[in-house]
Chains A and B, each alone.
Chain A
Amino acid sequence: MTKGTAAIVLALLLTLILSPCSGKAYLQGDRVIVDGQGNTLESVARDIADPEVFSFDRDRNAALANRNLTVRGTLLIGSDKSADSSLSPFQILEMNISRCGAVRIEVAASPGEVGELHLNRAKLVTLHETDDQCKDPNLLIVRGKLVAQDSEISGNIECVIEPGAFVEMVSSSVSYTQNGALSCELGPGQHVRIRDSSFIDNANYGVRIGSCPEPLELRDCAFRGLSADVYNAGGGELVLTDCDFQTVKFASLSGKVRRKWSVTVEVPGSGLHVVARSEKGNPQHEIVRGVTDENGVCELVLTEYVAFPPKAQEFREGLNNATPHEIIVYDRDEKTLLYKVDNFHVFMKHQRLTFR
């Protein structure tokens, strides 16, 4: 064997070692570990090969898990994104663990290895969801990556986002929880993008924010909780844009919840400068600028109010308000005044301001 041949053999072996492992699920203690790439509910059931632990019913497109799950590799529940997912039926993972609050689905992360859970038209449910005596939460703990689209998590499964996790959640819901629907403990520079989703809890909070070194923005979301729709427990800043909630609570004397709304401004002309400014005398003040596009449209995101403790608990209209705004439209030279609107209140989604 020449030196070259040996090098090729070595390179092949190293490629084999370093290439992504194919999926593999196995039972470790009382948990099903999902490792490697390309796992699906069907492949997990095949790998486990024990219906008492994990089974998949192709007719129902549903898997039944009698053990908790830890995702160390990738697991896709639902349809592949390449398919037209809007037409595909939901795929279901049923967690069949009867002990109160004992369900754990963990998306793990460790140095050099990040678990990924992809939910695409998926339903993640507990089979014992109607047991109202159970107030302890089942948990979906995200330390790695969670990507959810058009999916539902229900049956007292609280979604917990931990520091370092990567989260993309769109058009999804977490509901029927008994302790809280969404809980965030975040670190610096973390990617959390949640849009058009709802978090509905029957007992405590819709969203709970713990540590949060940077403002966290959630858009187009609905939050409901019996104790509070939004609970700021860690003193960070939560920015809720076009969101539906009614009550805010704080655990300490620090932290903010900023409520914002997007407003569409329509002006006959492109490239015009739009400036929105909180009116004098408002407790909160902001200036937001924009430029109209080729259709004469400019979208501004304006603050209605900033809730902060302790007054937020006795929140009254007008308290901490940044609205009403004055909205001024300047010509392209940024000097010639074209239009001005005084006393413009932002208070709901889909507001428009049209100059004719």
Chain B
Amino acid sequence: MIFRAASYVAIAAIIVAVAVVLNRDGAREDVRLGVDPTQSRDRGPHQHDFLDPRCECDPEAEIKQAIADRQDYSSTHTDLGKGFYARGRYDVAKSCYERALELEETNYQARYGLALTHIRLGDLVAARQELQRAVEANRKFLPAYISLAVLDYADGDYGMAKERLQGALRIEPSNPHAKKLLNSLPKVQRYADANSG
């Protein structure tokens, strides 16, 4: 009986020893995986073509230079905002536009940029407010009218969208964007009341 128990313990001890060795010696895993972590990833033959159109300029450095050169100009901050917006850095773009508006409250381009940034960040209420202020700052600033119409469209208020677009076309009758949006407004038809409540 004792011999049998001792043999169980011995077997268990061997298992423990083997487990410890396997656990400690990480090199074995690489052998199993066939992985060389120092080697760079294979990127495929088409990758070189894809790399060709790469731009070598450094917009970040240019932006920093611009900030250093003309720190107090509202228009500079607006331009910076546009740059960051185009590159998808909406939080930074928002800060730039806000700084531009701190320096010049009537900068309607900055208001418009800030509104578009709010749209990208999903805050349509704030976007609408900024667009309305942009229109107040410049009554003939068509992009703000059209963006307000787009927000009305997105909100399902097609009557208001139509009104705004017609207003925009009174300012610039040949504006293609306004014309196209006006033609693309949905047509709602009501047939019967719902039986459910």
Q: How close is A314's CB to chain B, nearest CB, in angstroms? A: 15
Known: A10-B9, A21-B23. A110 touches B33 (CB 8 A): yes
Q: How close is A143's CB to chain B, nearest CB, in angstroms? A: 8
Q: Is the interface of A mostly helix, strand, loop or mixed?
A: mixed
| B41/A160 in contact, CB under 8 A | yes
Query: Would you call B170 an interface residue if the criterion is a C-beta within 8 Å of the partner chain's C-beta atoms?
Result: no
**A348 to B118 alpha-carbon distance, docked (Å):** 13
| B29/A251 in contact, CB under 8 A | no
Interface residues of A in 195-227 (CB under 8 A from B): 198, 200, 202-206, 210, 222-224, 226-227
| B87/A104 in contact, CB under 8 A | no
| B185/A35 in contact, CB under 8 A | no
Which of B69-77, B94-102, B137-145, B188-196 forms contacts with chain A?
B188-196
Residues 47-77 of chain B: 1 if any A CB is under 8 Å from the residue's CB, otherwise 0? 1011101110011110000000000000000
- CB-contact partner of A339 in B27, B55, B61, B188, under 8 A: B188
Query: Would you call B2 an interface residue if the criterion is a C-beta within 8 Å of the partner chain's C-beta atoms?
Result: yes
Complex contacts, A266 vs chain B, CB 8 Å: 156
Which of A12-20, A37-45, A303-311 forms contacts with chain B?
A12-20
| B26/A33 in contact, CB under 8 A | yes
Complex contacts, B89 vs chain A, CB 8 Å: 175, 200
| B191/A110 in contact, CB under 8 A | no
**A244 to B53 alpha-carbon distance, docked (Å):** 22
Which of A53-61, A84-92, A267-275 forms contacts with chain B?
A267-275
Chain A residues in the interface with B (C-beta under 8 A): 1-3, 5-7, 9-10, 13-14, 16-17, 21, 26, 28, 30-31, 33, 35, 68, 70, 72, 101, 104, 106, 108, 110-111, 113, 132, 135-136, 139, 141, 160, 175, 198, 200, 202-206, 210, 222-224, 226-227, 229, 231, 233, 244, 249, 251-252, 266-272, 324, 331-333, 336-345, 348-355
Among all A-B residue pairs, the 8 with the closest Cβ atoms: A224-B88, A6-B5, A269-B194, A13-B12, A1-B5, A269-B196, A251-B46, A354-B156
